[in-house]
Amino acid sequence: MALIKPVKGISPKMGENCFLAENCTVVGDVVMGDNCSVWFNAVVRGDVNSIRMGNKVNIQDGAVIHCTYEKTKVHLGNNVSVGHNAIVHGCTVHDNVLIGMGAIVMDNVEIGSNTIIAAGAVVLENTKVESGSIYAGIPAKKVKDINQELIHGEIDRIANNYLMYAGWFKE
11 to 6, 7, 31, 86, 130: CA distances (angstroms) = 4, 7, 9, 24, 34
pTM summary value: 0.97
- The residue segments making up the domain with residue 25 are 3-168
pLDDT of amino acid 150: 82
Q: Where are the beta strands (DSSP E) in 33-170?
A: 37-38, 43-53, 58-59, 64-66, 74-76, 80-82, 87-89, 92-93, 97-99, 104-105, 110-111, 115-117, 122-123, 128-129, 133-136, 141-145
Q: What is the mean pLDDT of each run of 10 residues along the chain (171 residues)?
A: 96 98 98 98 98 98 97 98 98 98 98 98 98 98 92 92 94 67
Tally of domains within the chain: 1
pLDDT of amino acid 5: 98
Task: Report residue 164: phi and psi, to 5°.
Answer: -65, -45
Task: Report residue 166: phi and psi, to 5°.
Answer: -60, -35
pLDDT of amino acid 128: 98
pLDDT of amino acid 171: 67
pLDDT of amino acid 170: 84
Q: The domain that contains 121 carries what CATH number?
A: 2.160.10.10
